Amino acid sequence: MFFESKHSLNENEFNLWKNKHINFPVHIHRSFEYFKQIHGSTEIWIEERKYILCGGEAVLVFPFQPHSYTCIEDGEIQMSIFSPEMVPSFYKKNKIPTNNQFTCDLSEAVTVDNIYHKKSVAYFICGEFEREREYIERSHNLGDELFVSLLVYADNHFRDKCLLLDAAKAVGYDYAYISKFFKKKVGMSFRQYVNRIRILESKQLLKGTSKSISEIGEMCGFSSTRAFDREFLFQTGLTPSDYRKNSK
């Protein structure tokens, strides 16, 4: 299993495409992934459950759910990957569906030309999925998948101190081992990854609320406004204030 960072740390992530088939090994990311079988058939594993999709059937993979695809019969598929920040009202951080399969009437000819089209398509998919849906609490320790447990821990605790030492205790592993393990998997330290999530969240608050810079920094887990300003500038090249002005 590998981590797709390109589909994990971009708040404007949205892709929509069609293809004849897909074969892809087990992987995870921090985005939603929509898959619809138009013609043909595909075997899909989501966590430990197998789905065989035929024409007209779809699945919605939630963030941090390991999944894979194996083509059974060529045909036509429709896929979309979009970030949790595209659908903040729908994103259920501590819950996953009991069943990922559903039917979706998203047009096969739909096009997206701007951010509003993207959000409307993403919310349409989520709205179709939400009908008669049941959810369960996501466990902090998902079986033997240590890596997934660490990613989920970061997503659930980034508003707090969210130290690697606490994460190591939560998953029951040695701190030094976890530190090397995580960096090897993601290509950055646990602290760097947590700060990336914090900045993603802060961007949404800067654009969508009138809260002060200091309030937003505190809400996103930064110990001070100075620390928030420094990290925001490092990641974006702008101060939080300048980013807010440019977003209006």
End-to-end CA distance of the chain: 40
Q: Do 181 and 223 lie in a common domain?
A: yes
- CATH assignment at residue 107: 2.60.120.280
SS3 39: strand
Q: Do 115 and 8 lie in a common domain?
A: yes
Q: Do 57 and 111 lie in a common domain?
A: yes
Q: Do 118 and 77 lie in a common domain?
A: yes
Picking from 137, 169, 184, the residue at the C-terminal end of a domain is 137
Q: Do 41 and 126 lie in a common domain?
A: yes
Phi/psi of residue 70, nearest 5 degrees: -135, 120
Number of domains in the chain: 2
Q: Which two tokens stand for residue 177?
A: 């081992």
Q: Answer for the pair 77, 38: CB distance below 8 angstroms, yes or no.
A: yes
pLDDT digits (tens, 9 = 90+) for 29-83: 999 999 999 999 999 999 889 999 999 999 999 999 989 999 999 999 999 999 9
pLDDT digits (tens, 9 = 90+) for 96-133: 999 999 999 898 778 888 999 999 999 999 999 999 89
Q: Is 0.95 topped by the overall pTM?
A: no
Q: Which two tokens stand for residue 182?
A: 């995580």
Q: Do 206 and 98 lie in a common domain?
A: no
Picking from 115, 137, 159, the residue at the C-terminal end of a domain is 137
pLDDT digits (tens, 9 = 90+) for 68-103: 999 999 999 999 999 999 999 999 877 899 999 999
Picking from 137, 162, 179, the residue at the C-terminal end of a domain is 137
Our measurement of the distance from residue 241's CA atom to the centroid of its chain's CA atoms, rounded to an integer in Å, reads: 26
Q: Do 199 and 128 lie in a common domain?
A: no
Q: Which domain holds residue 196?
A: 146-247
- CATH assignment at residue 223: 1.10.10.60
Q: Do 170 and 87 lie in a common domain?
A: no
Q: Do 86 and 155 lie in a common domain?
A: no
Q: Do 52 and 152 lie in a common domain?
A: no
**pLDDT-based confidence at 139, cuts 50/70/90?**
low
